[in-house]
Each structure stands twice: as C-alpha cells, then as structure tokens.
A and B are shown apart, each in its own frame.
Chain A
Amino acid sequence: MSDLPVQALQTALAAEHAAVWGYGLASAFLPPQSDDKLTEGSAAHRARRDATERMLRDAGVAPVPAAPGYLTPEPVTDVASAVAMVTTLETDAAVAWRSVVERSPADPAIRSAALDALTGAAVRATRWRAAVRNDRLTVPFPGLP
C-alpha cells in the first residue's frame, strides 16, 4: 500500500504505546471494580499497537518505539487522577485514529481498522467517565481535537 498514511499511523502507534504504559500505571491506583475496564482497555491497546506495528513493517517502515518514560498532564496519585489519565489517553487515541481515517485513501482495510480503534477509544472513554460521574458521558465528535 503505497498510499499508507505513514505519519498518521506513527502518531497513532505512539498514542497506543502511551496508552499501554498509562493503563499499567493506572492499575496501581484503581480499585478491583475497575479491573474489567483495565483488562479490556489494556488488551485492546496492546492488540492495536501490535497490529499497527505489523501494518507499518509490511509497508517497509520502521514503527516508532515506545518512549522510555512518559509525563502525565497531572500527577497520578489516586483513583480520580488515574481515571482522568486513562480518559485522556483514550481521547488522545481517538484523535490519532480519526486522523488516520481522514488521511488514508478509501481503502476498506485501513479505514475499518482506524474506525474500530476510534470507536473502541470513544466507548472506553465513555465507560471511564461513567465510573466517576453521571453526566457529560459522551462527546458528539470523538476524535475531533
């Protein structure tokens, strides 16, 4: 696929690396009732990371590696800040994958992978918001920065 949106995919891969790292950090602060959301989110981001690396390698592009460490926008010290962090990570992933949709040719394989990734991120962000509040659980255009 010569039309692969390499830069957008690398940005999305970087977001997936950050999400995998962030879910690991969050697990240290979240109570057992968050275990399902943590397990599901962590597995989804690992699978997406691996699939994106394969997609890039198949196109002859070296995938960006994970950073040795990450800075969170706010210190993660408790349940509220951990939930805020994973919600932000999902929001960032949604932005990155929407950009892949926008920049890719109308190729069903890459468009459907990017749509699945965007949808998964939006749904998980909604679940995390619902864990800490009762309103404003959705946004009208997930992935729109």
Chain B
Amino acid sequence: MTATPRSRRRVLRAGLTAGGLLVTAPAVLTGCSVLTPGAPDAPDPLESPARRAEADVTLARAVADGHPDLAPAATAYAADRQAHAAALRAELRRLNPEMAPSSSAAPAPAVRPAFADSSDAGNALAAATSRAQSEAGALVAVLPGYRAALLASIAACCASHAVVLA
C-alpha cells in the first residue's frame, strides 16, 4: 500500500472510530476537512482549474468547428488550454500518485456546445477566458511557490486570449 495523505486519513479515521472517539461526531471530522487548508480529504485545489481547462478545450473546439470567423482565436485558445490541462494534471499526479491517468486523454464528449450565432459563440469564449483567469488568479495568493507560478502563467495566458477575443 502506498502511503498517501488520503490513505493516512483513512487509517486515522478508522483508528479513531474504533476507539469510540467519533461515534456520535462524524460532523466534526467533516468540519475539519473543510476548514483546514490542504486537509487530506479536501479535493486538491488544482482539480477545479484542471477541469475548467479541459472544459474550455471542448468549448473552444466546438466554437472553432462551427464558426470559421472565430476559428483562429478559438483554435489558439484550445491549444493553450490543452497545455494548461496537461500541466495541471501532471502536477496533480505528482502529488496524488493514486489518481487515475489524465482525463484529458478521454474521447471528446458526444454532446458539444452549440451557439445561435458567432456573436453568441464569441461571447461564450470570452466569458470562459475571464472565468479561467479569475479562478487561476485567486489561487496564486494561497498556493505554494511552484503551483502559484503555474497558475499565474495560466491566468496571464487567459488574460491574453481575452485581449485577442475583444
């Protein structure tokens, strides 16, 4: 068995429960997970930006396929977001070796976003760049150096795409 934070927490929880300390207080443990930064049971803070990057790849490819006028900007955004997803997944796997391989390798979903017209599609893409920049930027203040620098670059890249799309 690999000694991961998650498995340590499971062992700890099992030990406490067996000792009768948590028999009537499961909420205490849940509360700890939520309130303690980096608690072992909390999702890794890179999980959300990784999923957002993958969703943006799907969105940008759909825009590029359906709207030739937006294709250059959308294709460029898809490429950069694919690079972000790969880097975030690599960092997630580095610290969470039990994680499944990158979900970005999964086939494209059967249902893809569709838009009434190019204006709608362009707005959706611009909104995606803005949300991605905000989410990555907010994490820069709180994460350790290497991860903060990775997210700072991602935020700066998404801000650059917002300028291209404007």
Chain A: CB-nearest residue to B83: A140
B87 shortest CB reach to chain A, Å: 7
B11 within 8 A of A: no
The CA of A24 and the CA of B84, in the complex, are separated in Å by 35
On whether the beta carbons of A122 and B145 are closer than 8 Å, the reply is: no
A120 shortest CB reach to chain B, Å: 9
On whether the beta carbons of A130 and B149 are closer than 8 Å, the reply is: no
Q: How many A-B residue pairs have CB under 8 A?
A: 95
A32 shortest CB reach to chain B, Å: 21
B52 within 8 A of A: no
B142 within 8 A of A: yes
B124 within 8 A of A: no
Known: A106-B148, A143-B149. A118 touches B156 (CB 8 A): yes
**A-side interface size class:** 20 to 34
Find chain B residues with CB under 8 A from A119 CB. Answer: 133, 137, 152, 155-156, 159
On whether the beta carbons of A142 and B164 are closer than 8 Å, the reply is: no
The CA of A29 and the CA of B87, in the complex, are separated in Å by 39
- Per-residue CB proximity of B91-128 to A under 8 Å, as 1/0? 00000000000000000000000000000000000000
B154 within 8 A of A: yes
B148: which of A111, A135, A140 is its contact (CB, 8 Å)?
A111
B89 shortest CB reach to chain A, Å: 14
The CA of A118 and the CA of B152, in the complex, are separated in Å by 8
A134 within 8 A of B: yes
On whether the beta carbons of A94 and B156 are closer than 8 Å, the reply is: yes
The CA of A73 and the CA of B79, in the complex, are separated in Å by 29
The B-contacting residues of A in range 105-122, CB under 8 angstroms, are: 106, 108, 111-112, 114-115, 118-119, 121-122
List the interface of chain A (C-beta within 8 A of B). 94, 98-99, 101-104, 106, 108, 111-112, 114-115, 118-119, 121-123, 125-127, 130, 134-144
Find chain A residues with CB under 8 A from B156 CB. Answer: 94, 115, 118-119, 121-123, 142-143
Known: A135-B72, A143-B156. A112 touches B148 (CB 8 A): no
On whether the beta carbons of B148 and A138 are closer than 8 Å, the reply is: no
Find chain B residues with CB under 8 A from A103 CB. Answer: 145
Find chain B residues with CB under 8 A from A137 CB. Answer: 76, 160, 164
On whether the beta carbons of B157 and A141 are closer than 8 Å, the reply is: yes
A115: which of B87, B137, B161 is its contact (CB, 8 Å)?
B137
Instruction: Provide 10 A-B residue pairs closer than 8 Å at the C-beta atoms, listed in order of the A residue.
Output: A102-B145, A102-B148, A106-B148, A123-B160, A126-B163, A138-B161, A139-B160, A140-B80, A140-B157, A141-B157
Find chain B residues with CB under 8 A from A140 CB. Answer: 79-80, 83-84, 153, 157
